[in-house]
Amino acid sequence: MEKDVHEFPEHDNKEIFRQIFDHVPVMINLTGKDRRIKLVNRAWERTIGWTLEEIRRESVDVFAECFPDPRYRRDVYDFIAAASGEWGEFTPRVRDGRVIDTTWCEFALSDGTVVGIGRDTTARKRTEVELLDSREQLRALAAHLEAVREEERARISRELHDDLGQALTGLRLELSWLNGRLARSSSEANRTLVEHTRSMIELVDRTVETVRRTATELRPGILDDFGLAAAVEWQAADFQRRTHIRCHVMASLRSRAPDRDTSTAVFRIVQEGLTNVARHARASRVLVTLRESDGHLLVEVADDGRGISEAEQSGIGSLGLLGMRERAQLLGGEFTIGGVPGRGTTLRVRLPVAPASVSPPGG
């Protein structure tokens, strides 16, 4: 008769249990109804610091040593007594005085003994804290770099508009004067010069337009001078002119504009959202909505295009989406995007805003 493959080999079952018990990489203890430790494995002894022999010989109250606060110790006793099989987190003080992070699961045997299985999670917790700290530092750095970049954009925009723009305007005036003087002469040579100066004037005009457009794209003055709603409406009109995709803005903001950081973040998110529509959506219409509700600024960019897929939302090429999400999170906000195949994509941003100031009566 063939032997059952599930039968134990010819060994003492207690030996098998003991070897497994002592070599599993988790802490195991058995606690009696009298709240005293009856049995522990080697991982428990290495982690907590006492051996079972010392506990018995010196009558060590391990729970009092590990949890000197009576209220905390009572919570531990209640968790053990419940033996629910659920995992719970505790911070015992081990023999060398360190306080460590642990997680435990307790279940009861038929005689009332409770078996505890625990893991030392100190290293994992430390790594999690360090990871969170690093993430916060990276976000702070990203916010600083973004602020520096916006300031640099504004500075370059002003210099292009004020210095280079004025210089080009002055050059055009001089060329116009020269062109007028030359045009009054009837000589063949001067007529040739008139054509050259007219071409130069046209070139200067095109350069002035390029400088103005570049300055505006770097940092639209309308955002600082007239506020977020006006800047988004300008952006929508410019988007429609360049792409021939109809773009409508519905803005319902209080008279008090959001602060500079919020306005900049929303403008850049809308700008990036419209850029994505032009590149990927194959849309014919876009609706941009700005409104305030319950202390939050709500922004939506919705198109009627092909609809973004889940793979595109999380793909390696979705750096634009990552940038928009990061902008929102830096201001304590939320960013979501979703699409329906053939019915379009909707981008939503929710940012906290300071409550609008109330003007005094008659003010």
User: Please, what sign has the CA dihedral across residues 310, 313, 316, 318?
Assistant: positive
CB 220 within 8 A of CB 234: yes
First-residue to last-residue Cα distance in the chain: 102
Q: Is this structure's pTM higher than 0.85?
A: no
How would you list the strands of the sheet with 246-252, edge to edge? 246-252, 285-293, 296-303, 344-352, 334-340
For residue 339, the SS3 value is strand
How would you list the strands of the sheet with 114-120, edge to edge? 37-40, 27-31, 114-120, 102-108, 84-90
Q: Between 3.30.1360.120, 3.40.50.300, 3.30.565.10, 2.60.40.10, what CATH number should domain 221-352 receive?
A: 3.30.565.10
> Which stretches of 102-180 are assigned E, i.e. beta strand?
102-108, 114-120
Task: Determine the pLDDT at residue 12.
Answer: 64
Task: Name the residue with tokens 């929710």.
Answer: 350
Whole-number percent of the chain with pLDDT over 70:
91
Closest CA to 114 of 20, 24, 38, 17: 38
Domain ranges of the chain: 13-120, 126-217, 221-352
10-residue mean pLDDT profile of the chain (363 residues): values are 48 75 90 90 94 91 94 95 94 94 94 93 89 80 74 76 79 85 74 83 86 76 85 92 93 76 89 90 93 90 90 69 86 89 91 60 40
For residue 286, the SS3 value is strand
- 286-to-127, 181, 244, 344 alpha-carbon distances in Å: 45, 51, 11, 9
Task: Determine the pLDDT at residue 52.
Answer: 92
Task: Determine the pLDDT at residue 255.
Answer: 56
Closest CA to 290 of 230, 225, 358: 230
Task: Determine the pLDDT at residue 257.
Answer: 66
Task: Determine the pLDDT at residue 317.
Answer: 55
Secondary structure tally for the chain: helices H, strands E? 13, 10
Per-residue pLDDT reduced to its tens digit, 25-47: 999 999 998 888 999 999 999 99
Task: Determine the pLDDT at residue 361.
Answer: 41
Task: Determine the pLDDT at residue 362.
Answer: 42
Task: Determine the pLDDT at residue 42.
Answer: 93
Per-residue pLDDT reduced to its tens digit, 239-281: 999 999 999 999 988 755 688 888 888 998 999 999 999 988 8
> Which H helix or E strand runs over 252?
strand 246-252
Task: Determine the pLDDT at residue 324.
Answer: 87
CATH topology of domain 13-120: Beta-Lactamase (3.30.450)
Task: Determine the pLDDT at residue 187.
Answer: 72
| Tokens of residue 324, six digits | 């928009």
